[in-house]
Structure 1
């Protein structure tokens, strides 16, 4: 385990019937990150308080996976020496004080592909507190809040099958971020870690991908840690 202090942080966002971007930005600030770069799909309303943040505005709609992949690429190219690349979505709440907690606990193993601080409800069954493995390949769930070590981010972005997802994947390669990441971890023999209890909560009740998507069932954390300190004391 090595401590992390140098972050590159981004948030992808797209138009929603019920916008949650402002709430997510405020929550991320309470968690410890005040200036995420926003990766913005066309026609997304940017709240006034967020307009001073660094913004990468797409000139045409890319879709969930392309926007996310380009966002991670841009973070790596803008901050090539970052120790952790944290890329989240615009419909998430985060545990207050999260940054200090993570900076003392990353990374949970030597071979880490990705850490998900969001734990879907079906991953939480009878799990002890802390990081645990969920190496399910294509069947991995939950791309709301991923953290990549520097070397893993670079390996992921340059992987041929990851690059081919846009041209040959399901749904024209527009979605399945979690599946692509999970399968890459499995093929690369790198671990996919999830934290229990969840350090992030899904709040978007409308999906930018699925017509009938909501934040219920497997698309919501069963236990969400609303506040945490560096000693690991959590409040639910």
Structure 2
């Protein structure tokens, strides 16, 4: 794999540039230094001695413009991957050989961060005062919001607990990014980021209207390139990924832009030791879909699921955004061949469901996804889909099973709440995806309350089952699904 590697550097107390450059060279990279005026002359001289190319900016760009121009310069050439590293970061000595074997974690990846800030190595769960799980595997902000809402509802005493994330290349899970220390990009995705509306209009994070105007008038004062990257990736509907444990460490004691030192969240809490091969650390990780050299997904052992993943991937979509194997098995066990089913959102699950039932209708907001999955394309109108008479109508006999996996985005599915009842009969099963997110879990509760039916939780799926007659005894599978929790 051919890498183009850039190191951005600027004046700072206690310079660390040479440590960054030496770590990259030890890993087998050939870095180019992009230096702001006033950068440490001693370190630049040492870079010259090592034969490292240096691009010396004639005028001060500021951290944001220097990073953007560095990215643009690195795109001027052929490369399989572009790595941009800040001058206060060191990388693992085997990071290049590992990346050559592991990239890319998914087709729609916007960036992969070698550096894992402390809070990206953790996940949070919320519990009621009696110890009952409310929601798990949340970001810190979502967990605190869930606990606060629970307290405001009169429950009080909701507890947030923290646990370490498993080993893997995880989604950052936030709409922005914390730490642009060492980011690797596919060239075509980096170009899309630079051309995005977010990047072109960036004036820094936060601040009053007047402050943003001042920064716009003086671009060298613009900061927060990491926040911009994360928001641009979100704008483009791409994924941000981060390796945990970290393959890089933030080493500076002093920030070049006044952001503080490398303590607390500005430091990786778990790092692969230099003497340990990263391949050995990540070899057993199964939390995301990797691709083999032939572009096919790693086998799960379920031929039906694997064939669907190959089909979906072959159309240019990322299976990592699709229904996971455990969720499919839960859904599969609810299906019967004589069922009439309805799905909001479409993709891999559409093909799997369609192969199991007599009649399946999927509603999809994205035109390309709808075409590829055979769904009915219905753009959004307000808070819900605009169902046009261009295919099978949504109206008709109630459905036997309804899967709610759209519209896209957290908290965007509440439009179903006022529309669910005419779609159901007494025995309809309703499945809500992504209930690990606070908004979707609350929606599942709201639907269950509206229909006066029991709600269960299996992994990332919420399952609303028909009411069991008082005289009847639930089956083992029914009893399991009626338990809230995982």
Instruction: Give the TM-score normalised by the residue count of structure 1.
Output: 0.89
Q: What does residue 38 of structure 2 align with?
A: 43
Residue 179 of structure 2 is matched in structure 1 by: 142
- Tell me the distance in 1 between the aligned counterparts of 2:65 and 2:206: 12
Partner of 1:133: 171
For the aligned residues, what is the CA RMSD?
1.9
- Give the counterpart of 1:89 among 86, 92, 115: 86
**CA separation of 1:221 and 1:71: change in aligned 2, threshold 3 A:** same
Looking at structure 1, the residues matched to 196 and 119 of structure 2 have their Cα atoms a distance apart, in angstroms, of 29
Partner of 1:11: 7
- CA shift in 2, pair 1:208/1:177, >3 Å: same
Assess if the C-alpha contact under 8 Å between 2:171 and 2:239 holds in 1: yes
Name the counterpart of 1:219.
266
State the alpha-carbon separation in 1 of the partners of residues 273 and 16 from structure 2: 17
- Match of 2:199? 162
Q: Is this contact kept in 2: 1:129–1:196, CA < 8 A?
A: yes
For residue 115 of structure 2, what is the aligned residue in structure 1?
A: 118
Could you give the per-residue CA deviations for residues 168-214 of structure 1, whole angstroms, max 9, x where no partner exists?
9856261111110111111111000000001100000100111x601
Partners of 1:175 and 1:168 in 2: CA distance: 7
Instruction: Describe the shift of the 1:55–1:169 C-alpha distance in structure 2 as closer, same or farther (beyond 3 A).
Output: farther
Question: In the alignment, which residue of structure 1 is the partner of 2:224?
Answer: 176
User: 2:27 matched to 1:31?
Assistant: yes
The CA distance in 2 between the partners of 1:216 and 1:161, in whole Å, is 29
The 2-side partners of 1:73 and 1:169 are apart by 25
- CA apart distance, 1:231: 3.2
Higher relative contact order (CA closer than 8 Å, sequence separation 6+): 1
Cα drift, residue 232 of structure 1 = 2.9
Q: Which runs of 4+ in 1 moved over 4 A?
A: 166-171
Judge which range, 122-131 or 194-203, deviates more: 122-131
Q: CA deviation at 1:128?
A: 1.5
Q: Is the 8 A contact 2:5 2:74 kept in 1?
A: yes
| Bigger radius of gyration among the two | 2
Structure 1 gap ranges (5+): none
Deviations 1:112-165 (A, max 9, x none): 001111000111122111200013123x20100011112101111112331111
Q: TM-score, normalised by structure 2?
A: 0.44
Aligned residue in 2 for 1:206: 254
Residues in 2 aligned to 1:129 and 1:144: alpha-carbon distance in whole angstroms:
20
Match of 1:66 in 2: 65
Instruction: Measure the CA separation in 2 of the matches of 1:164 and 1:185.
Output: 14
